Structure 1
Amino acid sequence: MIAALSLILAFQLVGEVISRLLDLPLPGPVIAMVLLVAACLWRPSLAARIRPVTEVLLANLSLFFIPAGVGVIAHIPTLREYGLGLAAAIVGSTILAIAAGALAFSLVARWTGATDPSAMKDGGHD
């Protein structure tokens, strides 16, 4: 189990090093995940080797949110002062992100000539 966890952490280290050395806009853990998935596809025995550790990590994933919760509690005075503005920024940015995604989808659908599948009847024949 320690060897498998060390292997996962080694991939994360490699991801961090690549991200920082190449000054990439991707975080190191994302690069590490891509590398780990590629390595598991290339060597299925690697996936079998780390599976027990990954299952334990996924089963206890909620524990990783405890530090974030403690951070929120530690900043209660800041939240009291700026909470309304933060909530407005979060809601507003969420709405803008959804609208931007919908707009991008619509533009790509127009550019590619895609049609609404539900509008097509009888396999596309009118």
Structure 2
Amino acid sequence: MILGLTWLIGFQILGEVIVGVLDLPVPGPVVGMLLLFVFLRLRRPPGSSSILRAGSGLLRHLQLFFVPAGVGVVAYLGVLGDDWLPISVAMLGSWLLGLVVVGWTAVGLERLLGQPRDDQPRAAS
């Protein structure tokens, strides 16, 4: 388990270093996660590998990672109360934008791959 956690932290640090060196506008852990994904796709470790066991162990306790976010919300209740309108508009707008982008991407991929959607009638043979 320790070896798997070391791999996960190593990819996060690698992502932080790459973002720092290249001055990318992306969080380092996101770059590290992308590198980890590529590494796992190329290497295809067995299910008993330490990195997969560490990831599964963290996923079993994923709800604990929301505690700091909840504490942050409570700590900034005054700011949230003062600026509730712009925050609400930004949240609603980003949600709608994400929904539209995912929809357009799904439709574009369906057209690109030539696979009909489930809700479309299929041609009779």
Q: How far off its partner does 1:28 sit?
A: 1.9
Alignment partner, residue 10 of structure 2: 10
1:83 and 1:37, CA in 2 relative to 1: closer, same or farther beyond 3 A? same
Cα distance in 1 for residues equivalent to 2:74 and 2:29: 27
1:122 aligns with 2:109: no
| Amino acid of the structure 2 residue aligned with 1:31 | V
| Amino acid of the structure 2 residue aligned with 1:50 | I
Q: How far off its partner does 1:47 sit?
A: 6.9
With normalisation by structure 2, the TM-score equals 0.73
Alignment of 1:43-122 (within 5 A): 44=45, 48-102=49-103, 108=108, 118-122=120-124
Alignment partner, residue 32 of structure 1: 32
Give the RMSD, CA atoms, in angstroms: 3.0
With normalisation by structure 1, the TM-score equals 0.72
**Contact (CA 8 Å) 1:39, 1:46: kept in 2 or not?**
no
Cα distance in 2 for residues equivalent to 1:73 and 1:65: 13
Q: How far off its partner does 1:58 sit?
A: 0.3
The one of the two structures with greater contact order (alpha-carbon pairs below 8 A, sep at least 6) is: 2
Matched length: 120
Q: How far off its partner does 1:88 sit?
A: 2.5
Q: How far off its partner does 1:8 sit?
A: 1.2
Cα distance in 2 for residues equivalent to 1:105 and 1:55: 29
Query: Structure 1: any 5+ residue segments left out of the alignment?
Result: none
Specify the SS of the correspondent of 1:122.
Answer: coil
**Contact (CA 8 Å) 1:19, 1:28: kept in 2 or not?**
yes
Cα distance in 2 for residues equivalent to 1:33 and 1:47: 20
Specify the SS of the correspondent of 1:44.
Answer: coil
1:8 and 1:97, CA in 2 relative to 1: closer, same or farther beyond 3 A? closer
Query: Structure 2: any 5+ residue segments left out of the alignment?
Result: none
Of residues 55-64 and 39-48 in structure 1, the stretch that sits farther from structure 2 once superposed is 39-48
